[in-house]
Amino acid sequence: MNDQPEASPIIKAAGLQSGDSVLEIGFRQINAMRLFAELVGEHGRVTGIDISSEHVAKAQEALGEGSSPNIHAVKGSILDLPFPDSAFDVVFCLGVLHEIRDLNRAFLEIARVLRPNGRVLIADFQRFSRLKFVLYRLQVRLRGESCSDVHPGFTHQSLTERLRSHGLRESSYEKPSGEWRMGFIRCESFLLVADKRIE
């Protein structure tokens, strides 16, 4: 988030409205969830979910009991979202997909919890060579760290096809300025917005 987060491509593309119910999968910043909560207002709801118990506990502490009544942080997996069908108007999946082995299951769950005509925003990095990815994973292991990354990015076409197979149709795709890094690898990012369209 920059100094004017409301102007960021992600916030603009999300088109958050008062009263929206929002899910952020693999949330990174409490400040981002607070901004979402401001945009959806007191009648909206923002939920962050993460697989790390420690991460969730820190978020809950930072939010403070009762100080942010429309923001909640819960533990859970993108592969088994602990929410009822059609629970959210907007789902954010920012920098998460390259860590998910079972992408089809992930998209099935995202589509399930989205309301009809709801939106999912996916930000990740564009595909690079498998060799660079192997070298990156080796670099991480040599540092004595574990590596949760399983995909060397995504092509536009492959991601769109996967989404379509789960009833999610692309409405926009852009390449924001700047770059991501995975170790020594410079990566181009993308932002894809898809809708759960009812035919």
Residue count (the chain): 199
> pLDDT tens digits for 87-114?
999 999 999 999 999 999 999 999 999 9
How is the chain split into domains, by residue range? Answer: 5-196
Pairing of strands 71-75, 45-50: parallel
pLDDT number for residue 80: 97
Helices (H) and strands (E) in the chain, counts: 6, 9
What pLDDT, on a 0 to 100 scale, did the predictor assign at position 4?
Answer: 41
CATH match of 5-196 with 3.30.1330.40: no
121-173, pLDDT tens digit by residue?
A: 999 988 888 888 888 888 888 888 877 888 888 999 999 999 999 999 999 99
Instruction: Write out the H or E segment, with its range, that includes residue 189.
Output: strand 189-196
Q: Could you report the per-residue pLDDT of 17-35, keeping only the tens digit for each?
A: 999 999 999 997 788 999 9
Is the confidence at residue 63, as pLDDT, over 90? no
d(CA 182, CA 134): 12
